Structure 1
């Protein structure tokens, strides 16, 4: 009798657990529903969802309407699902002429125009170090220099940093400073680690950046980058007495894109004031030359199925699941614009949050370049951000293994939207489709025109999305929030944010 009773108890308990699991919404997600989301977002009609284009705004509207359809509400205190993000849009560069004491520098190979009005000028050249002034840091590169009516030549970046992103940001300040001192042009000698050919291709096309400068404060003098990695070019410009410059210039106008946001209140009276952020970027790189990679007349649309309609579909799955069965903590759903421009939508949000950041216990970001193994999920930051057990348990539920940081040499943690949350102190890994290394199978699709819906394994998208939602649910229901691993470079920011 005891043995029989025990068997009945085990069978009953197992059946009850299975029944409960099957009632949870992530278990009832349908492949067709996720496929529909991805096929729309990565369709030819959306023309690569480039930030600032109408197709990008259509994608934003689609995501907002899916949030509404599933029952995810507008964020408390907001009127709509949208957070406007204003960008400066710079037009394509055009060929020009640059002569150093009569010697011609090759446009497109040795130099290009960053910004500025059309100009035809010939003027003396003055070298001004990094072209910076900052009394707190002891920078005074214009000390003793008269640059009025002259062309200023400087090093790119900052004395302590030479990344392309920081070089661009610093360059805008250098330009205003040079113009304010009466210079007729600014030339920077590019010296960052990123190869010149890549920078040349990327920055000579149409470019967008966060509109951090009012239109009336734009410096209109020409701003050029020269390949400072070539010693002969640097020597030629440093020794030149005068330079002749002819450029058609590059105009700048304001364009608006949107982060898309929704909110689901938690079920626990004590924990619902805390929230989990679930994010993915929805923009991609556009059409033709905008995409920055080879294309053909037959296929010039960079659909971005893997990057990142795949991830957005998982976030939409989360919107449905958490609306149907609320977790203990609240859930903040966030679809970013501008990721492909340098994580700009998430950077804007982190600087202008609509919810208190110190109430955000975790960000589970969803992004990736692609996949080559449908038996795994790769999680960037798995061992750093305190939720390894929940993520592994969720993946196992749907027959998937978890691989942490498969390509550490790529520094992927700091290359997706999660990093803008991490900088603030919020534990923030990126949940990525399965890969074990950045190899040819990944690069075959990454930012390529063939990354379209027809190439997607939709059975894998379903399992991936279920695992993402299940992991988020387990984390949202934890008794205590996840924490950074001791000694992590973002741990101090967390102590400052959370007061620990």
Structure 2
């Protein structure tokens, strides 16, 4: 029997199993602390069987799903499993063709095998001073055109410059870019604009905060990218040059000539999908507003795809913590909120492509299934793991306007809140919540309890040993209950949450909601 057939059979068996688990059944009473704190002993989240989250996680993080890498069969099986759970719970399909899927035709981008850039007497080479970001095979010679950051048509950009068929040089990053996500998003915008302008190649002078060694290693592996716009043509040859010590500043000067050779990066299709279902609210007016519950279900795959060392005896990066944990919380919340619906409507959104650049959420933000203007909040759940099972950690708690509800949701199940863990990591902009925030939607990230990126986190984060048998299932159960209760409280609150004054996403929120 071929692997994909076996996996399909296993999926069917698990769906059948959970169809039994999903039926109401007597459950153990919650701990005394949770009983005293919870507003009602009858809420569905309090009746959630302890074994149900465990069952979901053991399937989603099983070896059979091969690390759920975007574009691979295990990822598609995970999406199907989630969709069938939505169907079992009675969620209304929010995807295409009256189904739960929002298909995305990702591209798989292979690694380059050769690249050189000759500048005077210097020859820069792939794997040393150069990385190839995109584009097909190219051999080009000519004078370069410096366009500043290469992000706009303004005075320090393309204004007054005809770059059709020319080699464009841009400064790396952007004036605002601090973390990796912002740097990569700026780079993608530069490539898109250079392509639109008809440039033959784009060279970025890289001198950003991410060490060059990491950049070199990361872009020497296969990547997955969003599909190019249908009318945008093939992307230009795009390279980063290590300009950490400003040693190639002459590339900014007029009259500089270079010769560029690159094998390019081969592209092929890598289909995947977000999974989305709707729970209609009960209030005649508020049901036209939506709270999005989101979590990514993809992980990094098998072997070299994982990007970290592994043993021949265990080469599967199961991703139990990141993010089968959050996906299970999403399914648990969907069940609770279906059994007792809140005032506002809920969009339950399982996202693909997070590990390859937050791509599933970025695609959704550009192609929303419910109007963003009617989306009042995104309660995202994602994390690297936990080192404190008495807590839930929240990135963006103080910024996104629902602090009271989030704290109450955790307290109802005996858990504390730890706000803004590991601020040096820039975590707010490193998960799917940021793509909602960019559009103006208040969007914190709810993570398993951690207070710092310490050895307990690093032991499992993107490691092959992050498998189901290493999970504290009692903590998973309480986390799922608390997440569902937070969602209920936010969906039932009288007023919309608002960005705090002065937040960097406040202006986007005012523009979105017409404030």
The bucket for the TM-score relative to the shorter chain is 0.7 to 0.9
Alpha-carbon distance, 1:18 to partner: 10
User: Does residue 260 of structure 1 match 2:275?
Assistant: yes
2:318 and 2:252 map into 1 onto residues whose CA distance is 42
2:149 and 2:346 map into 1 onto residues whose CA distance is 46
Alpha carbons 1:380, 1:412 under 8 Å: kept: yes
Q: Quickly say closer, same or farther: Cα 1:333–1:202, change in 2 above 3 A.
A: same
2:46 and 2:118 map into 1 onto residues whose CA distance is 67
Alpha-carbon distance, 1:479 to partner: 2.4
Alpha-carbon distance, 1:227 to partner: 0.7
After the TM superposition, which residues 237-248 of structure 1 pair with which residues of structure 2 at under 5 Å, given as runs?
243=258, 245-248=260-263
User: Does residue 36 of structure 1 match 2:55?
Assistant: yes
Alpha-carbon distance, 1:113 to partner: 2.0
Structure 2 equivalent of residue 128 of structure 1: 146
Alpha carbons 1:46, 1:55 under 8 Å: kept: yes
1:102 and 1:160 map into 2 onto residues whose CA distance is 34
Alpha-carbon distance, 1:146 to partner: 8.4
Aligned residues: 478
User: Does residue 207 of structure 1 match 2:246?
Assistant: no
Q: Quickly say closer, same or farther: Cα 1:111–1:22, change in 2 above 3 A.
A: same
Alpha carbons 2:69, 2:300 under 8 Å: kept: yes
- Report the secondary structure of 2:365's partner residue: helix
Moved more, 349-358 or 374-383: 349-358
2:446 and 2:422 map into 1 onto residues whose CA distance is 14
Q: TM-score, normalised by structure 1?
A: 0.86
Alpha carbons 2:39, 2:412 under 8 Å: kept: no
User: Does residue 363 of structure 1 match 2:381?
Assistant: no
User: Does residue 342 of structure 1 match 2:357?
Assistant: yes
Alpha carbons 2:65, 2:75 under 8 Å: kept: yes
Structure 2 unaligned segments of length 5 or more: list them: 1-34
Moved more, 462-471 or 38-47: 38-47
Alpha carbons 1:71, 1:320 under 8 Å: kept: no
After the TM superposition, which residues 140-219 of structure 1 pair with which residues of structure 2 at under 5 Å, given as runs?
152-158=168-174, 161=177, 163-173=182-192, 175-176=194-195, 180=198, 183=200, 185-214=201-230, 217-219=233-235
1:36 and 1:55 map into 2 onto residues whose CA distance is 17
Alpha-carbon distance, 1:224 to partner: 2.3
User: Does residue 226 of structure 1 match 2:241?
Assistant: yes
Alpha-carbon distance, 1:493 to partner: 2.9
Q: TM-score, normalised by structure 2?
A: 0.84
Moved more, 269-278 or 237-246: 237-246
Q: Quickly say closer, same or farther: Cα 1:167–1:388, change in 2 above 3 A.
A: closer
Moved more, 418-427 or 316-325: 418-427
Q: Quickly say closer, same or farther: Cα 1:18–1:255, change in 2 above 3 A.
A: closer
Structure 1 equivalent of residue 308 of structure 2: 293
Deviations 1:74-129 (A, max 9, x none): 1399611011223232112224444444544343121122233334x473453534
1:223 and 1:333 map into 2 onto residues whose CA distance is 37
Structure 2 equivalent of residue 351 of structure 1: 366
Structure 1 equivalent of residue 500 of structure 2: 485
1:131 and 1:410 map into 2 onto residues whose CA distance is 25
Q: Quickly say closer, same or farther: Cα 1:109–1:64, change in 2 above 3 A.
A: same
Deviations 1:112-161 (A, max 9, x none): 22233334x473453534484854x224559678886x755443345665
- Report the secondary structure of 1:208's partner residue: strand
Structure 2 equivalent of residue 4 of structure 1: none
Query: 107, 110, 127: which is aligned to 2:126?
Result: 107
Alpha-carbon distance, 1:371 to partner: 0.5
Structure 1 unaligned segments of length 5 or more: list them: 1-15
Task: Let me know the Cα RMSD of the aligned residues.
Answer: 3.0
Alpha carbons 1:158, 1:170 under 8 Å: kept: no
2:163 and 2:382 map into 1 onto residues whose CA distance is 50
Structure 2 equivalent of residue 323 of structure 1: 338
Structure 2 equivalent of residue 275 of structure 1: 290
Alpha-carbon distance, 1:272 to partner: 2.0
